[in-house]
Copies of this chain bind each other. A is one copy, B any other.
Amino acid sequence: MKTMTDYLWFDTAKHREFINITEKVEELVQRSGIAEGFVLVSAMHITAGVYVNDAESGLISDIDEWLEKLAPYRPDYRHHDTGESNGDAHLKSLLIHHEVIVPVTSGKLDLGPWQQVYYAEFDGQRRKRVIVKAIGE
């Protein structure tokens, strides 16, 4: 059995941002020498997400608007009594989910033709991390 652990760092220019990390994950998996297994891609923060969907800019705008509609910014979240103002970012992270497992087959990410791995930042402009961990053989 082989394992590989690495971390990707982000410091986005914008408060909210969607970053395609498929190639970086693919590169780490290839370097690991794992041919058959799973790779976990998981945000290490509670105001960011990781998801798999299409690399189409119109759709990404749709996703952003939809998340704002279902988990809107509001001044009056109770979480803000702590001095924070990012209650909405926590809810957006829960909605989109903070992690995915990608299958690895014959040394490659076994994704469908349109599936891409995205890091979704909901409270950016600070240094944040994603763990990429693979197990297999």
Number of A residues contacting the other chain (C-beta, 8 Å)?
Answer: 56
Q: Tell me whether A8 is interfacial, beta carbon within 8 Å.
A: no
- 7 closest Cβ contacts across the A-B interface? A44-B112, A58-B78, A59-B79, A3-B36, A103-B133, A58-B79, A46-B53
Please measure, in the bound complex, the distance between the C-alpha atom of A97 and the C-alpha atom of B103, giving whole angstroms.
Answer: 16
A96: chain B residues at CB < 8 Å are 94
Taking beta carbons and an 8 Å cutoff, which residues of A are in contact with B?
1, 3, 5, 36-38, 40, 42-46, 51-54, 56, 58-59, 61-63, 66, 70-71, 77-82, 87, 90-91, 93-101, 103, 105, 110-112, 114-115, 129, 131, 133, 135-137
Tell me how far the C-beta of A93 lies from the nearest C-beta in chain B, rounded to whole angstroms. Answer: 7
B98 and A99 contacting across the interface, CB-CB below 8 Å: no
Tell me how far the C-beta of A137 lies from the nearest C-beta in chain B, rounded to whole angstroms. Answer: 5
The one of B1, B78, B79, B110 in contact with A1, judged by C-beta atoms closer than 8 angstroms, is B1
A78: chain B residues at CB < 8 Å are 58-59, 61-62
